[in-house]
Structure 1
Amino acid sequence: MPKDIGTAVREVCLWLPEAEEFLSHGSPNFRVRGKTFAAYCVNHHGDGRIALWLSSPAGAQALYTKEEPKHFFVPPYVGPRGWLGVNLDKGISWKRVAKLVREAYEKVAPRALSATLGATIDIKPPTAKLKPEDIDPLQSKRARTLLDKLRGMCLELQGTNESSAFGVPVWRVGKKTFVCAGHGRERLTLLFWVGVEQQSLYMSDKRYSIPPYMGHNGWISIDVTKDANWDEIRGLMLNSYRHFAPKRLAAALDAHPSLETAAPKRKSGTRSPRGTRGARGKTVNRKTRRS
């Protein structure tokens, strides 16, 4: 089987003594005795790069980024601490990548471990190229079809617009985001505001989760990787829109029944969460209404 870039990255990082891989913010990172020396980042926040971020020796970042901007860049977040970004798909040799990784390791590893290093590993370069959907999962056929439909639903509402945040599409009413798309760990997700007090009512359904960063503000995430219930999605979208829209726009929604939707459908024998709001903002009592 042809080797891909991710496999090559693990080869040049994990041959080092006591090096281990862990996941941080959705990206593979590599550390030795608790200190990170490398991170493998693909399309970080939509930047389109296939890259390694490395803890580099003093002065290396300034030198490499100035002399070879095709291969090197200043990565976000860790760049101010001197870390070096390395583009892995722009023709840089893997012999050189292995050397840079070794330098990053030696910068943070205990001297006793560094002293045990022999010759730097020599690996065969990867031959398998990443597909567009491997770099950006939102470019897959299913994701594009789903986002096209969601886009139409969001933009038919008054005062809405589409933008991008952290590399994913978002829909706003005015300047306030009310719907986000997301991906991670081979999952395609949609994010909506429901309110902190309502979040727990969705957690019995395995499709739902509380997303990082936004969850504490009342947002939920629904997994639509395999299937999407569009009545349910429209209900979540309208509820989120109502929360963020100015009062005049929320009132205008009531005047257009064509934009209204039924309550989300649930499996037979299950109850709708107490306090779930219908399309007109009326509370549906779980004791009196089931779907």
Structure 2
Amino acid sequence: MSHSQIASPEGLALVARLRDFCTKLPVVEEKVDGFGHTTFRVKDKPFIFVGESDDQVSTSFKTNLTTQEFLLGQDGTPYKKTPYIGQHGWVSIMNIELVPWAEIEDLIVEGYARTAPKKIVQQLKATMS
């Protein structure tokens, strides 16, 4: 399995859609890591990874262990535990088309809130209410 930067039309479209949503959150940065993953970060801590290998796009979200357990426990779930970092609550989706976008947005906000410093999370809550 070779890792390279996202190049497929599907992968690029997904990154653009994630970027549109993530950049509305305070102090979010987009960065390509050493493995070629596109990451969305707050204070240089990632809360989303998007990767592509063998033309398969995968997206990983930081969740808490309760959310992870719930997502993995559903019948026919499109989610799986993220390799190497799954024990910290990360979940991955190989085919994001199988998940309603509203659910993806909820996962983004949860991952962001779990990653960002408290002050920034309070800022976010103020803008969302």
Q: Shorter-chain-normalised TM-score: which range? A: 0.7 to 0.9
Tell me what 1:255 maps to: 126
Deviation of the 1:151 alpha carbon:
0.8
Q: Distance in 1 between matches of 2:68 and 2:54?
A: 22
Tell me what 2:104 maps to: 233
For residues 115-264 of structure 1, the aligned pairs below 5 Å read 138-165=6-33, 166-184=35-53, 186-203=55-72, 204=74, 205-224=76-95, 226-257=97-128
Q: Distance in 2 between matches of 1:161 and 1:227?
A: 26
**Deviations 1:200-257 (CA, angstroms, capped at 9, x unpaired):** 2111242100011111111001233544522111100000000111111111111113
The one-letter code matched in structure 2 to 1:196 is L
Deviation of the 1:149 alpha carbon:
1.0
Higher CA-based Rg: 1
Q: Could you tell me whether the CA contact under 8 Å between 1:187 and 1:225 is conserved in 2?
A: no
Q: Distance in 2 between matches of 1:158 and 1:219?
A: 22
Q: Distance in 1 between matches of 2:111 and 2:98?
A: 21
Deviation of the 1:196 alpha carbon:
2.5
Q: Could you tell me whether the CA contact under 8 Å between 2:78 and 2:98 is conserved in 1?
A: no
Q: Could you state the TM-score of these two structures normalised by the residue count of structure 1?
A: 0.40
| Structure 1 or 2: more helix by fraction | 2
For residues 28-67 of structure 1, the aligned pairs below 5 Å read 42=2, 44=3, 46=4
Aligned residues: 126
For residues 101-120 of structure 1, the aligned pairs below 5 Å read none
Q: Distance in 2 between matches of 1:185 and 1:209?
A: 18
Q: Distance in 1 between matches of 2:86 and 2:7?
A: 25
Q: Which has the higher contact order (CA 8 A, sep 6+)?
A: 2
Q: Could you state the TM-score of these two structures normalised by the residue count of structure 2?
A: 0.85
Structure 2 residue runs without a partner (length 5+): none
Q: Distance in 2 between matches of 1:225 and 1:186?
A: 14
Q: Could you tell me whether the CA contact under 8 Å between 2:8 and 2:55 is conserved in 1?
A: no
Structure 1 residue runs without a partner (length 5+): 1-26, 28-41, 47-135, 261-291
* Percent of aligned positions that are identical: 28
The one-letter code matched in structure 1 to 2:44 is K
Deviation of the 1:191 alpha carbon:
0.8
Query: For the aligned residues, what is the CA RMSD?
Result: 2.0
